[in-house]
Amino acid sequence: MTQSAIANDPATRLADVNSEIAKACKISRRKPEDVTLIAVSKTHPAEEIAPLIAAGQRVFGENRVQEAQDKWPALREQASDIELHLVGQLQSNKADEAVALFDCIHSLDRPSLVKALAKAFDKAGRQVPCFVQVNIGDEEQKGGCAIANLPALLEAARDAGIPLAGLMCVPPFGIEPAPYFALMAKLADDHGLDGRSMGMSGDYPTAIMLGATHIRVGTALFGERG
């Protein structure tokens, strides 16, 4: 196997990411096991995901309910302990399907979705932990709850009995992310939430050093999307 082929081997890429996680944790005096690596497999076919499962990765993220429905029933047969996280926006009319399929939702961002998820939980007889997505950079085109509306949304979610895993954010593209990660950590602390879903392929070491508990990594594991 050539050096290039080795570098592109899924097991090698996974080992490299886990090594970077360990380095960032050492610098910040954290334990690597306190950081959950979510392999974001959106747009990647089953044949590209299977090698990562074989290499030991167990937590995966998808952006779309329909895509996950098409891919994951068969992939789950490879390992009984796979966790599937919804890391993209969720339409309220897809709440039932999302609750049936996913083990965690990272994009709770509005009161109407609180109501839809609460109904879906009751109907399914199961509850799925949810991260509240914060529009940390106040970007009009991006999903997420405005920082000013966060207290009310958290209160509504708690009143509806939704299990809150923490907060999630996507910092503005092309800008140093550290201040946004620091703000997210402060917001989580202020509201008594332990979970911080933040950091992607280009910035996850920084996110870890600023308190990320869940990082969402796609490109570093799967390569650039075609």
Quick check: 28 and 209 in contact, CB under 8 A? Answer: yes
Quick check: 218 and 201 in contact, CB under 8 A? Answer: yes
In this prediction, residue 8 carries a pLDDT of 72
- Span 59-100, pLDDT tens digits: 999 999 999 999 999 999 999 999 999 999 999 999 999 999
In this prediction, residue 9 carries a pLDDT of 85
Quick check: 61 and 37 in contact, CB under 8 A? Answer: no
In this prediction, residue 140 carries a pLDDT of 84
Query: What is the CB neighbour count within 10 angstroms for residue 3?
Result: 7
Quick check: 168 and 142 in contact, CB under 8 A? Answer: no
Domain boundaries, the chain: 3-222
In this prediction, residue 2 carries a pLDDT of 40
Residue (of 71, 20, 3, 2) closest to 221 by Cα position: 20
More reliable by pLDDT, 105 or 174: 105
Q: Is pTM beyond 0.85 here?
A: yes
- Span 145-200, pLDDT tens digits: 999 999 999 999 999 999 999 999 999 999 999 999 999 999 999 999 999 999 99
| Mean pLDDT score across all residues of the chain | 94
**The tokens of 195 are what?**
């979970």
CATH fold of 3-222 reads TIM Barrel (3.20.20)
β-bridge partners, 61: 40, 85
In whole angstroms, give the CA distance from residue 179 to residue 205: 14
5 confidence band (pLDDT: 50, 70, 90):
very low
97-102: list long-range contacts, CB under 8 Å, 24+ apart.
Answer: 97/65, 97/69, 98/65, 98/128, 99/123, 99/124, 99/126, 99/128, 100/124, 101/65, 101/68, 101/69, 101/72, 102/62, 102/68, 102/128
- Span 110-152, pLDDT tens digits: 999 999 999 999 999 999 999 999 999 998 878 899 999 999 9
Give the type of residue at 44: H
Strand locations in the chain, DSSP E?
A: 36-40, 59-62, 83-86, 104-108, 130-134, 164-169, 195-197, 214-217
Sign of CA dihedral 36, 102, 121, 190: positive
In this prediction, residue 223 carries a pLDDT of 81
Quick check: 145 and 133 in contact, CB under 8 A? Answer: yes
Quick check: 128 and 109 in contact, CB under 8 A? Answer: no
